Amino acid sequence: ALLETRGAQDAALLWRNRALEGLHAALGSDHPETTGAAENFADLLMELRRHEEAIVLYRWAHEGRAQWRGSSPEDIGASAGRLARVLQAKGRYVEAEELQRGQVELLARDRGPDSREVLEAKARLGDLARASGRYEDAEALHRCAAQAFEAQLGPA
């Protein structure tokens, strides 16, 4: 049964890779269909615990989304967030924080500094600070996000 499962995984990887190569050839590396396929392939690699390969694809997808003229700030921010979470899980906090800060800035320009998306991104930035041992920074970021949420929603 294990070999059958392994065979199915290998087949899935092969088909995802072929699909991604076809989209890349037909549409280009920054087309939304191509970047979406790259993220789907990266998701599969993550499930298989092939994190470094997934990081390469998430990064490619993020850079493609950032270059595509029609990409929304929300899409670009979401791709940055996915990549940042994987980098954080691998202990690559500096890279993850750079992406997360970029997501906060992008969303703040698009949605406003006190939008729900910005506050959630700030909270994730606080999670990154905590994970890297910067507890005072983490507390300040979490407090800022919590106070803004409370101002919008009322006290809990």
62 vs 70, higher pLDDT: 62
- Indicate whether 94 pLDDT > 80: yes
Whether residue 58 is found in the same domain as residue 106? no
Which residue range is the domain that position 114 belongs to?
72-155
Does residue 2 sit in the same domain as residue 59?
Answer: yes
Number of domains into which the chain is organized: 2
What does the pLDDT read at residue 156?
Answer: 63
| Residues 74/117, Cβ–Cβ less than 8 Å | yes
Structure tokens at 57: 């694809």
The CATH number covering residue 100 comes to 1.25.40.10
Last residue of a domain, one of 19, 45, 71: 71
Is residue 1 pLDDT above 60, yes or no? no
Please tell me the number of Cα atoms within 13 Å of 142 on its side-chain side.
11
Q: Cα angle vertex 60, ends 123, 39, to 5°? A: 70
CB 38 within 8 A of CB 55: no
- 150, two tokens: 């409370």
Which pLDDT band holds residue 5 (cuts at 50, 70, 90)?
Answer: low
Note whether 23 and 34 are within 8 A (CB): yes
Alpha carbon 33 to its chain centroid, in Å, reads 17
Of 71, 139, 58, the closest CA to residue 99 belongs to: 58
Q: Where are the alpha helices (DSSP H) in the chain?
A: 2-27, 32-47, 51-67, 73-89, 93-111, 116-131, 135-153
Whole-structure pTM value = 0.80
Is residue 3 very low, low, confident or very high in pLDDT (cuts 50, 70, 90)? very low
**112/53 same-domain check:** no
